[in-house]
Amino acid sequence: MDNILEFKNIEKHFNLEAGLFSSFGRFVYAVNDVSISIQRGTTYGLVGESGCGKTTTARMAVGLYTPNKGNIVYYAQNGKIFDSGNMNKQDLNELRGKIKYIFQDPSKSLNPRMNIFQILTSGYHHSSLWPGKMKARIEAEKIMLDVGLATEDLLRRPAEFSGGQRQRISIARALIMKPEFIICDEVVSALDVSIQSQILNLLLGLREKYKLSILFIAHDLTVTTFFSDRIGVMYRGRIVEEGSALEIAGNRVHPYTRLLYNSIPSWKDEKHEEYGMGDNEVSNSSEFDSGVALKGCPFAHRCKFKIEICTEQIPELRSISSGHFSACFRNGEI
């Protein structure tokens, strides 16, 4: 298998107290033992509620955080291998030219004082790939047309654009260094539904054109199953179910994935006659304390199928069918 990115048993804790007198006694356990492999040329969707560790996982891939345990390996197109456990500053710079990150809120991630050309090239300028201003200008114009904006827009500033156009600028900024891999962190969740479909179609086209591999992060199961080839469902820092998008769409095994599915207000599906949480699938204490290390199944406190073992042992991912895994003690029973 030709993998482009591998997370190997990643763990990340954040210290709750900072500074000189911090006691290092209390942690937020953000990501707990996550292993993901992403194949070259495919899209991997990571889905889950806020606070489940999706973004932390993605940020470790670009070196914004270092994992406490485990390592992340990136296999570049030219054969070079980047291992997060064994990387110097030069390697990190090189890696950051290959992996690009698109952020959730386009109004907060573009500098309002820069014009679009400056925004597109501010990172490019400091990389070893910088071709000089004249050539960069031509490349920027080409990218602007690719994302559906005009070349004159390069001289305008972010405030002059709507939310959807700003997200296009974010995408252009990610693409200008010709990355092999992009991370889309909730790129459509701040947008209107009509703009959302424009951006998704744009990403699908660009993915084809630039032969990109994508890590797609979202909390919306419908969008994720539409856009991804493979999906990992994450809860409380662990992957609870993993499978191909079609598999997850057709056969959801883990109770948490089913909960996400039940939260979709679909009118085309007859089963969703009454929308909402009517059958009390979820208790009101849907929050969890991420400051406590996991003892049992991460979802046990919300799960209506809970049995004794669920609060005592952490379930491992077990195979349901080929390529489909679920971390539940009651796989097959419920």
Which residues contribute to the site for other proteins (CB under 8 A)? 49-50, 162-165, 192-198, 200-201, 204, 219-223, 225-227, 245-246, 249-250, 259-269, 272, 275-278, 282, 284-287
Q: Tell me the CA distances in angstroms from 114 to 23, 103, 110, 121, 167, one per residue in order.
A: 42, 18, 8, 11, 16
Select from 41, 85, 36 the least CA-distant residue to 57: 36
Q: What does residue 218 show for φ and ψ, rounded to 5 degrees?
A: -160, 165
Q: Which is nearer to other proteins, 79 or 265 (CB)?
A: 265
Q: Is 12 helix (H, G, I), strand (E, B) or coil?
A: strand
Q: Which residues of 181-218 are buried (b: 16+ CB within 10 A; e: fewer)?
A: bbbbbbbbebbeeebbebbbebbeebbeeeebbbbbbb
Q: How far is the CB of 239 from other proteins (least distance, A)?
A: 18
Q: Least Å distance between CB 9 and other proteins?
A: 27
- Please provide the distance, in angstroms rounded to a whole number, between the alpha carbons at the two ends of the chain: 33
| Residue from 218, 239, 231, 236 nearest 328 by CA | 239
Task: Tell me how far apart the alpha carbons of residues 120 and 200 are, in angstroms, rounded to a whole number.
Answer: 21
162/266 Cα distance (integer angstroms): 28
Between 279 and 308, CB nearer to other proteins? 279
174 or 260: CB nearest other proteins: 260
Task: Decide whether 111 or 266 has the Cβ nearer to other proteins.
Answer: 266
Q: Nearest Cα to 40, choosing from 274, 251, 211? A: 211
**In terms of CB distance, is 272 or 306 closer to other proteins?**
272
Distance set, CA 180 to CA 16, 97, 264 (Å): 35, 9, 33
3-state secondary structure string across 52-77: CCHHHHHHHHCCCCCCCEEEEEEECC
**Smaller CB distance to other proteins: residue 89 or 271?**
271
By beta-carbon proximity to other proteins, the closer residue of 176 and 188 is 188
Q: Please identify, using beta-carbon distances, which residue of 118 and 263 lies nearer to other proteins.
A: 263
Report the alpha-carbon distance of residue 91 to residue 222 in Å, rounded. Answer: 37
Shortest distance, position 92 Cβ to other proteins, whole Å: 32
